[in-house]
Structure 1
Amino acid sequence: MELPHTMETEELMTYLQIQLYHPQQASKALYRLLPVDARHKHPAEDPLRLGRDVHGCTFALADPRVSRKQLALQAYHTANSPDMLFSVQNLSQKGHVTVNGSELGYLERAELPNKALVRFGEYELLIRRENGEAKGSFEVEFGVLAVPPSREVGVPSIVPVMDTGSDHSNNGIPPLMSHGPIEMDETIMYQSCSMFLS
């Protein structure tokens, strides 16, 4: 069967895959407003906004701890590259956004590489870009990860500080010198002092 000569060939669109992880995602309630596992076409001139505001954002998270407008992904082109590129902008005045470990202040932007780890609150987003030819639009698809993507990407996670003031950044090996207060048992101190007095 021959195709008509007037039929235009469909251009391959740039594809953004956004995979999310949150430690309390088991209930699935956090992602109930997202079109998970479905591709969505988005015009390149419009920023793709993510936050909790269903009216002000392109996609929303059902989480009161997320800012009304948390972040925006903006497509752009440069004279040096035929590829559609993306930047991420922090839209939250209170919440911090990090891109591959670099923190963005309010309204600050960072260029997204082909693979990036974006974090805000307890959320981790692994964003991958596949280049296409179309200039006017791109596709985005959300997915859910079972494990934190920071393990795969290699960006160090935040290590909680114990009550002793030490951390576990030495892979479980105790540090040679303590940098915090040391608690001692008063009876040992008393016994040590009484030995010197007798």
Structure 2
Amino acid sequence: MNVSQTLETEEDFLTCLQIKLYHPQRHKGMFSLLSLGRRMRQDADDPLRMGRDGLTCAVALVDQKVSRKQLSFQAYRTPHDQGMFFSIQNLSKKGRVIVNGTGLGYLEKLDLPDKALVRFGEYEMLIVREFGEAKGSFEVELDVLEVSPFTETCAFVPARNPVLDSSSEYTDALRSPQPLESDETMIYNM
């Protein structure tokens, strides 16, 4: 066996940006321009754009409510890390992009964590970065979700408000017009 056949190439270690899309009123035409379930290669020095314009956007959505250029993902590297990272930028003048609860206005940019929930318009996305060591390119894998990634991930988040037993004394207290708690530092006028 020759040495070149045993060496692993850069293609074996490409970073992959997995983008799982959801829309509540999805129809087949909306995602018809996407290569679903397959990995496509993207040059790292070229932003990965998403929007309605199929000529300038690698991820083109057939939806008149989406901006021609809605958002972009830009790959970058840091001097002290072998991995490839991504930032997301809002390219829409009319709509905001929400990334893990942080709103981005026109041309605002944010570094993506390894896993992110993104919203724009009625679209929701779960974006996951799969680690790789490639320097010049990365892969993108697109898929469509049947349920919202926000409801799916909320099942793993503990409830913020405890559910009270309906027969407890606390239920009666909740119905009372009297305050349940008082601040000891408040001065009351009686």
Q: Distance in 1 between matches of 2:45 and 2:85?
A: 12
- Partner residue, 2:15: 14
User: Percent same amino acid among aligned pairs?
Assistant: 53
- Partner residue, 1:125: 125
Gaps of 5+ in 2: 156-160, 164-170, 178-190
Per-residue deviation, residues 52-87 of structure 1 (Å, max 9, x unmatched): 001121220000000000000000011122110000
SS at structure 2 position matched to 1:126: strand
- Partner residue, 2:70: 70
Q: Which amino acid aligns with 2:19?
A: I
TM-score with structure 1 length normalisation?
0.75
Note if contact 1:114-1:129 (Cα within 8 Å) is conserved in structure 2: yes
Per-residue deviation, residues 70-110 of structure 1 (Å, max 9, x unmatched): 00000001112211000000000001101001000100001
- Partner residue, 2:25: 24
Q: How does 1:144-159 map to 2 (within 5 A)?
A: 144-154=144-154
Q: Which amino acid aligns with 1:16?
A: L
Q: Which amino acid aligns with 1:71?
A: L
Gaps of 5+ in 1: 156-168, 178-198
- Partner residue, 1:187: none
Q: How does 1:1-198 map to 2 (within 5 A)?
A: 2=1, 4-7=2-5, 8-11=7-10, 12-25=13-26, 27-154=27-154
Q: Distance in 2 between matches of 1:151 and 1:51?
A: 24
Q: Distance in 1 between matches of 2:129 and 2:154?
A: 18
Shift of the alpha carbon at 1:28?
1.4
TM-score with structure 2 length normalisation?
0.78
CA distance 1:154–1:54, change in 2 (3 Å): same
Shift of the alpha carbon at 1:9?
2.3
Note if contact 1:119-1:125 (Cα within 8 Å) is conserved in structure 2: yes
SS at structure 2 position matched to 1:57: coil
Larger radius of gyration: 1
